[in-house]
């Protein structure tokens, strides 16, 4: 099941939708929003799947909202060995955690806005994990039971700020720097989350191409590691790290500029596309 939050062209009210074929079926009367869908779990998913469509919209006729409004976005740095190597770093011996603040959250088709304070805005294609139930001190063996589903995120990064600040929060958390969506694909639809092709394209040109099998720390381990000391709540998001091919380490470097379009794709989850605009 693929679920999305959206607005129509005739209303500014947030809606919840279910993808059926090439249309989004409005299920807001059954469940009002994604966080509530996640909180209710299997009973709400069953009700949504049985719903008779009262309204349905073509994909091009809706304005997508962030797939979920998470309480926390916890991101993982250097979780692909090739990405660590391209930056001249050794592969980490433990997950490298950082956060992206709520103001950075954005949506499919919404612009990535280039801030005046940075000249080195970069792209990072990533698989995102959406937590389905409260998770505290979870074992690696049980970790996937706490997953509601998966989506896509672009961990947009102001590299000059990231590297010069000495820590990553500002460079990773500027406004519009976390496009998330367009759909959350429920966990049951993904047979093996560690066997998915992941790709990033800049203006149609492939810049990043890898597979989630190449993660250093797999999804179950990440959930277990985080929850030993940080409680995850329904709707929280883990951005699992980006593969190699980012712009800053290319020769010459490639940074986003106004008029660009960057697209993240993960096998089975679809594609997240964002134009780039000046401030």
- Per CATH, the homologous superfamily of domain 73-278 is Fumarylacetoacetase-like, C-terminal domain (3.90.850.10)
Is the pLDDT score of 53 beyond 90? Answer: no
What would the mean pLDDT of 125-143 be, rounded to a whole number? 98
d(CA 235, CA 39): 8
Question: How large is the average pLDDT for residues 187-195?
Answer: 98
- What integer best gives the mean pLDDT of the chain? 97
User: pTM for the complete prediction?
Assistant: 0.98
151 Cβ contact list (under 8 Å, min separation 6): 67, 68, 128, 130, 180, 181, 183, 184, 185, 237, 269, 272
Tell me what pLDDT residue 54 has: 81
Mean pLDDT of 115-126: 98
180, 149 contact by CB (below 8 A): no
Sign of torsion over alpha carbons 236, 264, 199, 156: negative
Q: Locate all alpha helices (DSSP H) within 153-277, ordered by sequence.
A: 159-165, 169-172, 219-227
Across the strands, what pairs with 20?
A: 23
Residue length, the chain?
A: 279
Please write the tens of the pLDDT for every residue from 156-178. Answer: 999 999 999 999 999 999 999 99
Question: 3-state DSSP call for residue 37?
Answer: helix
Summarised one tens digit per residue, pLDDT across range 60-118 is 999 999 999 999 999 999 999 999 999 999 999 999 999 999 999 999 999 999 999 99
Mind listing the pLDDT tens digit for each residue in 229-249?
999 999 999 999 999 999 999
d(CA 129, CA 237): 6
* Per-residue model confidence (pLDDT) at position 22: 93
């Amino acid at each position: 099941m693929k679920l999305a939050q959206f607005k129509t062209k005739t209303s500014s009210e947030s809606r919840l939708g279910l993808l059926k074929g090439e249309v989004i079926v409005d299920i807001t009367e059954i469940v009002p929003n994604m966080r509530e869908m996640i909180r209710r779990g299997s009973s709400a998913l069953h009700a949504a799947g049985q719903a008779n469509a009262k309204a349905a919209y073509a994909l091009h006729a809706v304005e997508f909202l962030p797939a979920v409004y998470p309480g926390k976005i916890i991101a993982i740095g250097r979780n692909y060995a090739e990405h660590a190597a391209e930056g001249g770093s050794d592969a980490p011996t433990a997950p490298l955690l950082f956060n992206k603040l709520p103001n950075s959250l954005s949506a499919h088709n919404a612009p990535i806005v280039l801030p005046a304070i940075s000249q080195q805005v970069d792209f990072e294609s990533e698989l995102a994990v959406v937590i389905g139930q409260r998770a505290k001190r979870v074992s690696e063996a049980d970790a996937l039971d706490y997953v509601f589903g998966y989506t896509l995120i672009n961990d947009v990064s102001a590299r000059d700020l990231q590297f010069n600040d000495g820590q990553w929060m500002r460079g990773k958390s500027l406004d519009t720097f976390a496009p998330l969506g367009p759909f959350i694909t429920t966990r049951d639809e993904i047979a093996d989350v560690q066997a998915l092709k992941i790709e990033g394209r800049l203006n149609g040109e492939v810049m990043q191409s890898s597979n989630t099998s190449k993660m250093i720390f797999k999804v179950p381990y990440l959930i277990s590691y985080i929850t030993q000391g940080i409680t995850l709540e329904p709707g929280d998001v883990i951005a699992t790290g980006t593969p190699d091919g980012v712009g800053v380490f290319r020769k010459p470097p490639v940074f986003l500029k106004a008029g660009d379009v960057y697209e993240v794709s993960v096998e089975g989850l679809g594609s997240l596309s964002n134009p780039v605009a000046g401030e």
